[in-house]
């Protein structure tokens, strides 16, 4: 195998691929990236047995061939090479050492045989549809904060992607929850998505996907079965197993009769919450929200540091209400709201509260109060 490639191109591809590779693993081959040179394309592949990624970059191929190389080491080397360097890779063949040269630097890397590299069986992916990357990004960005990190509730460790109907319009919807709050974002259903099964995309896949499409404006082709999902775009293919579990019936916990409606300037509200919560203790970060006609009062107190109060003008004319929230959860949600005004629908101090962007109906957040 022999090839030459520009540093920037290789680094970008490697950055994507190596981030799937776990730092510590008991199976040595999983630390490696599969490097394959054919025609004028260099393909890089990596997997952790749950997620597999394949990225192709154009390169000048002298002699075709394939090998596997330690992913993190290779990435670190490439990253540290000077900008604009031409990188030369040369190896005698499979399972042998491989030489990497750039300018005056020379590295000899040990490789593992390519047969050991696991091939994840894609199986049949009967459903497919495509989305602009920007739309997919918006869906993910506004829901991923609510994913659970608690391993025992594995079925919440991801985002729930499914087809639904909202006010008679068919939509593609993503829901995430950690049991304390819930985020639900939807978009008009793309063609081919009507019959998809509801699937839970695991947290790590969501994170990797988000990294990949961060600055892409292409179209993402999504194919899925009820055990696997594949995202294909640019020159990258990301395949992930799905979480084998049942997502809870989230619609039951979204309240409908919340009749105390408050509207407030989102930025001002977020800033005030942030300021007031400075005083509350490190871990629970409770803020108390008192709402009366046209006025909202935020208070936080800590026996150690004292108390904080801030008043805001709001649009509200129901009965006064007093309710507590975890300030971090409030801030997480207000960060997702791009419009100027946030609308909060309340019922009472122990009932779920709905937060949404007044100018945007596609997203809805449910937040459970805290008893203070």
Partner 1 sequence: MTIRVLPETLINQIAAGEVVERPAAALKELVENSIDAGATQIDITLRDGGRDLIAVADDGCGMEPDEMALAVVRHATSKLPDSDLFNISTLGFRGEALPSMGAVGRLSITSRAQGADEAWQIVVEGGHKGAAIPAALNKGTRIELKDLFFATPARLKFLKTARTEINHAVDVVNRLAMAHPGISFTLTADSRSPLRYDSTQGELLDARLARLAQVMGREFADNAVAIEAEREGYVLSGYVGLPTLNRGNAQMQFLFVNGRPVRDRLLLGAVRGAYQDFLARDRHPLIALFLAAPPREVDVNVHPAKTEVRFRDAGLVRGLIVGAIRHGLAGAGHRAATTVSDAALGAMHPASGGPALPYSRGGGGGGSRGLSEEVLRFQAPLSGAFGSGGMPLPGLDAPPMAAVPIYDADEEVLAAPLGAARGQLHETYIVAQTEDGIVIVDQHAAHERLVYERMKEALAGEGVKRQVLLIPEVIEMDEAACGRLLAQADDLAELGLVIDSFGPGSVAVREVPALLGETDIGGLVRDLADEIAEIGEALGLKERLEEVCGTMACHGSVRAGRRLTREEMNALLRQMEATPHSGQCNHGRPTYVELKLADIEKLFGRR
The single residue among 151, 167, 191, 215 that binds partner 1, judged by CB under 8 A, is 151
Residue 195 or 304: the one with the smaller Cβ distance to partner 1 is 304
Is residue 253 a contact point for partner 1 (CB under 8 A)? yes
Residue 166 or 302: the one with the smaller Cβ distance to partner 1 is 302
Rounded to whole angstroms, the Cα distance separating 372 from 368 reads 13
Tokens of 174: 């993503």
Least separation in angstroms between CB 152 and partner 1 = 4
Residue 114: what are its φ and ψ, rounded to 5°?
A: -70, -25
Residues 296-355 binding partner 1 (CB under 8 A) are 301-304, 324, 326, 350, 352
Helical axes 7-18 vs 71-80, angle rounded to 10°: 150
Residue 111 or 184: the one with the smaller Cβ distance to partner 1 is 184
Rounded to whole angstroms, the Cα distance separating 355 from 259 reads 13
- Decide if 181 contacts 250 (C-beta within 8 A): no
Tokens of 114: 């390519």
Cα separations (Å) of 106 from 42, 78, 102, 348?
A: 20, 12, 7, 68
Least separation in angstroms between CB 115 and partner 1 = 40
Tokens of 145: 């904060």
Using CB under 8 A, which of the segments 39-47, 217-225, 292-300, 364-372 binds partner 1? 364-372
Rounded to whole angstroms, the Cα distance separating 44 from 143 reads 30
Residue 148 or 239: the one with the smaller Cβ distance to partner 1 is 148
The single residue among 248, 268, 321, 358 that binds partner 1, judged by CB under 8 A, is 248
Using CB under 8 A, which of the segments 27-35, 125-133, 187-195, 363-371 binds partner 1? 363-371
Residue 26 or 152: the one with the smaller Cβ distance to partner 1 is 152
Length of the chain: 372
Least separation in angstroms between CB 77 and partner 1 = 38
Rounded to whole angstroms, the Cα distance separating 321 from 4 reads 68
Would you tell me which residues interact with partner 1 (CB under 8 A)?
148-152, 177-182, 248, 250, 253, 281-284, 286, 301-304, 324, 326, 350, 352, 366, 368-372
């Amino acid at each position: 195998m022999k090839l030459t490639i520009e540093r920037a191109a290789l680094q970008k591809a490697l950055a994507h691929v190596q981030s799937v590779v776990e730092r510590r693993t008991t199976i040595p081959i999983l630390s490696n990236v599969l490097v394959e040179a054919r025609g004028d394309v260099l393909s890089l592949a990596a997997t952790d047995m749950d997620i597999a990624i394949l990225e192709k970059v154009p390169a000048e191929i002298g002699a075709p061939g394939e090998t596997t190389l330690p992913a993190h080491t290779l990435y670190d080397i490439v990253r540290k090479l000077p900008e604009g360097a031409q990188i030369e890779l040369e190896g005698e063949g499979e399972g042998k050492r491989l030489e990497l040269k750039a300018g005056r630097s020379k590295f000899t890397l040990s490789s593992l045989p390519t047969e050991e590299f696991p091939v994840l069986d894609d199986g049949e992916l009967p459903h497919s549809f495509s989305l602009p990357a920007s739309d997919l990004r918006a869906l993910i960005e506004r829901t991923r904060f609510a994913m659970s990190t608690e391993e025992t509730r594995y079925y919440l460790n991801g985002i729930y992607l499914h087809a639904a109907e909202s006010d008679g319009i068919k939509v593609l919807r993503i829901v995430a929850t950690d049991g304390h709050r819930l985020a639900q974002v939807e978009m008009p259903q793309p063609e081919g998505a009507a019959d998809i099964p509801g699937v839970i995309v695991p947290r790590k896949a969501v994170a990797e996907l988000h990294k990949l499409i961060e600055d892409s404006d292409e179209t993402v082709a999504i194919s899925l079965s009820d055990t696997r999902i594949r995202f294909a775009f640019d020159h990258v293919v990301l395949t992930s197993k799905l979480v084998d579990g049942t997502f809870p019936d989230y619609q039951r916990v979204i309240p409908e009769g919340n009749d105390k409606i408050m509207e407030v300037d989102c930025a001002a509200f977020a800033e005030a919450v942030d300021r007031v919560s400075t005083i509350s203790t490190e871990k629970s970060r409770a803020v108390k929200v008192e709402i009366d006609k046209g006025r909202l009062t935020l208070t936080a107190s800590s026996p150690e540091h004292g108390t904080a109060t801030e008043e805001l003008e709001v649009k509200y004319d129901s009965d006064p209400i007093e309710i507590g929230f975890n300030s971090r959860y409030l801030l997480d949600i207000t960060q997702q709201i791009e419009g100027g005004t946030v609308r909060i629908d309340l019922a009472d101090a122990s009932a779920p509260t709905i937060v949404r962007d007044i100018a945007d109906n596609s997203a809805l957040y449910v937040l459970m109060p805290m008893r203070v």
